[in-house]
């Protein structure tokens, strides 16, 4: 059988079968189409303002590295006029961050972007290693995730930056939507679908330019652009519920590649049904609404970076196979990425479940239980947006510090 030609340029040999829709593309066209799609996400939702300072939450992992690379390319190609810089969080996990921070430092040079590293110890008085020493490994990802979310915010404030972009991809979005659906948490589902979140209590807005990009395509992009990133799993275990949602999505994707995007779109459609919600679609239908959010637990579960999830093994396997295929690809053979089956998670510990008061809404004779929209306030201690007196981080810290005091006594 003669090798297939790229469906886009129709001249080059197709070497990549897009995970998203199984289109056969050449390397150049794949890279271009990936970038064009991110550009569309950005422009259709009016994400950036000229002159804006934008911090890229950089972990050294594939998602944020691809985000940095693509944003640099698009900023130059389409003249967004934004000032990009890398913002890295050092959780203080020995042997984990050391190498990934080195990666971020190299990225800063490669992409000619300023880099700011903020440590958990500076921000909270605790490194993650110290947290684990105190509370053990179980549940520590809750701390890591909560601390990380605020760390990006606080780091940005320190630098006087009002916009942070993160590398959340379509798989992450689908995972979060599914989790909120399974929890029956429609308000949070609504917020989690939004490309941009912010709140009155915090003047730092967050956005996800890769929210429609498949994780597998991010791996492919990183591979074919030969990006320098750190591929390893977080050594601390991910939250079981998120891990299960992720496995489910990966299984669905195997049977139906569009499943991931379908879930994201469905999430956006459902979000529109939530009273008072201002969700966005891909943005084509209007300006992106900045959903107000106490999204302390949205999107980022566990260790906050996609590198720290249960599927790290699967993506690592894909990376390995890509490297092995490289030689064959260079010889002009068509290669397709097939992924090994992944054993489902057997872990059963669950993170602390948020229990919310429920009210009922009477509509057309039906009684529909709904979760009230949380009133936004700010934390008494640190001023971070919170619906409670203390924000999650300050509550966790209170427990930790009590623990430390007892040890000292
Ligand atoms: Zn082509
Ligand atoms: Zn606080």
User: Domain boundaries in the chain?
Assistant: 47-272
Q: In this structure, which ligand is nearest to the CA of 11?
A: 1
Q: In this structure, which ligand is nearest to the CA of 18?
A: 1
Q: In this structure, which ligand is nearest to the CA of 31?
A: 1
Q: Which fold has domain 47-272?
A: Rossmann fold (3.40.50)
Q: In this structure, which ligand is nearest to the CA of 377?
A: 2
Q: Under a CB-based contact definition with an 8 Å cutoff, are residues 169 and 209 in contact?
A: no
Based on C-alpha coordinates, what's the Rg of the chain?
A: 21
> What is the model's pLDDT at position 407?
61
pLDDT 10s per residue in the chain (409 long)?
677 899 999 999 999 999 999 999 999 999 999 999 999 999 999 999 999 999 999 989 999 999 999 999 999 999 999 999 999 988 888 877 778 889 999 999 999 999 999 888 888 888 888 888 888 777 777 787 788 778 888 888 888 899 999 999 999 999 999 999 999 888 888 888 887 876 555 678 899 999 999 999 999 999 999 999 987 555 555 578 888 899 999 999 999 999 999 999 999 998 888 776 554 545 444 333 334 333 434 433 334 333 334 445 778 788 888 888 776 655 544 444 444 444 444 343 444 443 434 444 444 445 544 444 455 678 888 877 777 888 888 999 998 888 777 665 5
CA of 14 to the centre of ligand 1 (A): 7
> What is the model's pLDDT at position 408?
57
CA of 198 to the centre of ligand 2 (A): 17
Q: In this structure, which ligand is nearest to the CA of 384?
A: 2
Distance of CA 144 to the CA centre of its chain: 14
User: How many residues are listed for the chain in this entry?
Assistant: 409
Q: Is 270 helix (H, G, I), strand (E, B) or coil?
A: helix
Q: Please enumerate in sequence order all residues whose Cβ is within 8 A of that of 291, keeping only pairs 6 or more positions apart, or say none.
A: 190, 191, 194, 196, 197, 198, 277, 278, 279
CA of 395 to the centre of ligand 2 (A): 7
Q: Which residues belong to the annotated binding site?
A: 57-59, 63, 89, 167, 172
Rounded Cα distance, 401 and 197, in Å: 31
Q: Under a CB-based contact definition with an 8 Å cutoff, are residues 205 and 196 in contact?
A: yes
CA of 391 to the centre of ligand 2 (A): 4
Q: Which residues belong to the annotated binding site for ATP?
A: 57-59, 63, 89, 167, 172
Minimal CA–CA distance to 386: which of 123, 132, 153, 89? 153
CA of 69 to the centre of ligand 1 (A): 21
Rounded Cα distance, 351 and 148, in Å: 17
**CA 26-325-105 angle, 5° bins:** 85
Q: In this structure, which ligand is nearest to the CA of 397?
A: 2
Rounded Cα distance, 319 and 383, in Å: 42
CA of 6 to the centre of ligand 2 (A): 53
Q: Under a CB-based contact definition with an 8 Å cutoff, are residues 332 and 229 in contact?
A: no
CA of 396 to the centre of ligand 2 (A): 9
Rounded Cα distance, 83 and 13, in Å: 37
Indicate the pTM of the whole model.
0.78
Q: Under a CB-based contact definition with an 8 Å cutoff, are residues 67 and 209 in contact?
A: yes
CA of 123 to the centre of ligand 2 (A): 11
CA of 10 to the centre of ligand 1 (A): 6
């Amino acid at each position: 059988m003669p090798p297939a030609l790229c469906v886009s340029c129709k001249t080059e040999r197709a070497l990549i079968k897009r995970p998203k829709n199984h289109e056969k593309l050449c390397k150049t066209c794949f890279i271009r189409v990936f970038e064009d799609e991110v550009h569309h996400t950005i422009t259709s939702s009016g994400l950036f303002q000229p002159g804006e300072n934008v911090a890229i939450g950089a972990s050294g992992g594939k998602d944020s590295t691809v985000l940095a690379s693509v944003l640099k390319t698009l900023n130059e190609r389409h003249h967004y006029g934004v000032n990009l810089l890398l913002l890295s969080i050092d959780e203080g996990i020995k042997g984990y961050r050391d190498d990934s921070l080195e990666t971020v430092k190299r990225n800063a040079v490669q992409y000619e972007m300023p880099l700011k590293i903020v440590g958990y110890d500076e921000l909270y008085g605790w490194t993650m290693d110290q947290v684990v020493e105190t509370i053990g490994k179980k549940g520590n990802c809750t701390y890591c995730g909560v601390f990380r979310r605020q760390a990006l915010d606080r780091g940005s404030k320190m630098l006087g930056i009002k916009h942070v972009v993160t590398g959340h991809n379509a798989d992450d979005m689908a995972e979060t939507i599914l989790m909120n659906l399974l929890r029956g948490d429609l308000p949070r589902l609504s917020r989690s679908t939004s490309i941009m979140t912010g709140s009155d209590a915090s003047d730092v807005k967050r956005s996800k330019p890769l929210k429609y990009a498949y994780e597998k395509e991010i791996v492919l992009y990183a591979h074919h652009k030969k990006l320098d990133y750190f591929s390893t799993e977080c050594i601390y275990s991910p939250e079981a519920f998120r891990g299960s949602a992720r496995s489910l999505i990966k299984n669905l994707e195997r049977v139906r590649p569009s499943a991931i995007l379908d879930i994201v779109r469905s999430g956006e459609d459902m979000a529109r049904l939530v009273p008072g919600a201002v969700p966005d679609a891909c943005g084509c239908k209007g300006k992106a609404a900045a959903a107000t959010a106490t999204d302390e637990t949205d999107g980022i579960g566990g260790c906050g970076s996609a590198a720290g999830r249960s599927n790290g093994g699967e993506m690592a396997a894909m990376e390995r196979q890509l490297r092995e295929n490289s030689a064959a690809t260079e010889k002009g053979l068509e290669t397709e990425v097939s992924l090994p089956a992944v054993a489902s998670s057997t872990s059963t510990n669950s993170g602390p479940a948020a229990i919310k008061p429920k009210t009922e809404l009477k509509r057309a004779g039906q009684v529909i239980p709904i979760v009230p929209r949380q009133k936004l306030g700010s934390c008494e201690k640190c001023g971070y947006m919170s619906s409670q007196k203390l924000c999650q981080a300050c509550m966790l810290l209170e427990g930790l510090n009590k623990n430390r005091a007892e040890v000292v006594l």
